[in-house]
Structure 1
Amino acid sequence: MSTYIATKLTPMLESHDMQATLKFYTAVLNFTCDVKLEDLSWLTLRKDNIEIMFCTPNEHRNIPKSIMSGSLYINTNEVAALWESLKNVCEICYPLEDFEYGMREFAIYDNNGYLLQFGQDL
């Protein structure tokens, strides 16, 4: 195996409703849209050091239902304030809680059903 340097990981997720995805991430989570194709088949969203790409199903990526077996875990410096701003406008997976492994966190689902966890060191 050749030696290589990995420089960045950017999730590429599918969405069957790109307009709703763009609205959820920009209006609800305060991401900005860095780049998008005119037909809205692909876009890149950014919030501080977090970048996520979304695309519509296509010949190279044709997953019948948007699924992911894991979650996107986003570290933040203001998890309690973020919880207060999101708890009544998002589908909740679990509420704000302190965990024995040293994190205060909560989780929501985005408009596609992807699990987003937000955490802060205790």
Structure 2
Amino acid sequence: MATYTATKLTPMLESHDMQETLKFYTEILNFTCASKFDNLSWLTLRKDEIEIMFCSPNEHRNIPKSIMSGSLYIKTNAVTALWESLKDHCKICYPLEDFDYGMREFAIYDNNGYLLQFGQNL
């Protein structure tokens, strides 16, 4: 196997409603739209060190329903304040909780049904 350096991981997720995805991430989660195609078939969203790309279904990526078998886990330095600001504006998977493995976290679903977990070390 060739030796290489991996420099960054940026999830590329599919959305069947790009306008709502843009609205959810910018208005609710306070991401910024770093770049997008004019027809909104692709966009990149950023929040501090986090970057996520979204695309519309196309010939290379044509999944009937937006799915992901896991979640996106976002570490933060203010999980309690973030929970307070989001809990009434999102579909909740589980509320803010302290876990035995040393994390305080909660999870929500985005407009596509993707699971987003937010956590902070205790």
Structure 1 residue 59 displacement after superposition? 0.6
Aligned match of 1:3: 3
Structure 2 unpaired stretches of 5+: none
List per-residue Cα deviations over 1:5-61 (Å, max 9, x = no partner): 111000000000000000000000000000000000000000000000000010111
Aligned match of 2:36: 36
Question: Residue 7 of structure 1 aligns to a residue in which SS?
Answer: coil
TM value normalised by structure 2: 0.99
Aligned match of 2:86: 86
Question: Residue 46 of structure 2 aligns to a residue in which SS?
Answer: strand
Amino acid at match of 1:69: S
Question: Residue 13 of structure 1 aligns to a residue in which SS?
Answer: strand
Aligned match of 2:72: 72
Question: Residue 25 of structure 1 aligns to a residue in which SS?
Answer: helix
Work out the CA distance in 2 between the residues paired with 1:54 and 1:86.
Answer: 21
Work out the CA distance in 2 between the residues paired with 1:22 and 1:56.
Answer: 12
Aligned match of 2:26: 26
Work out the CA distance in 1 between the residues paired with 2:71 and 2:49.
Answer: 17
Report the RMSD for the aligned CA atoms in angstroms: 0.4
Work out the CA distance in 2 between the residues paired with 1:87 and 1:64.
Answer: 29
Aligned match of 2:96: 96
Structure 1 unpaired stretches of 5+: none
Of residues 11-20 and 58-67 in structure 1, the stretch that sits farther from structure 2 once superposed is 58-67
Aligned match of 2:17: 17
Over the matched positions of the two proteins, sequence identity in percent amounts to: 84
Structure 1 residue 3 displacement after superposition? 1.2
Count how many residue pairs are aligned between Structure 1 and Structure 2. 122
TM value normalised by structure 1: 0.99
Amino acid at match of 1:70: G
Question: Residue 58 of structure 1 aligns to a residue in which SS?
Answer: coil
Aligned match of 2:111: 111
Work out the CA distance in 1 between the residues paired with 2:119 and 2:56.
Answer: 29
Question: Residue 44 of structure 1 aligns to a residue in which SS?
Answer: strand
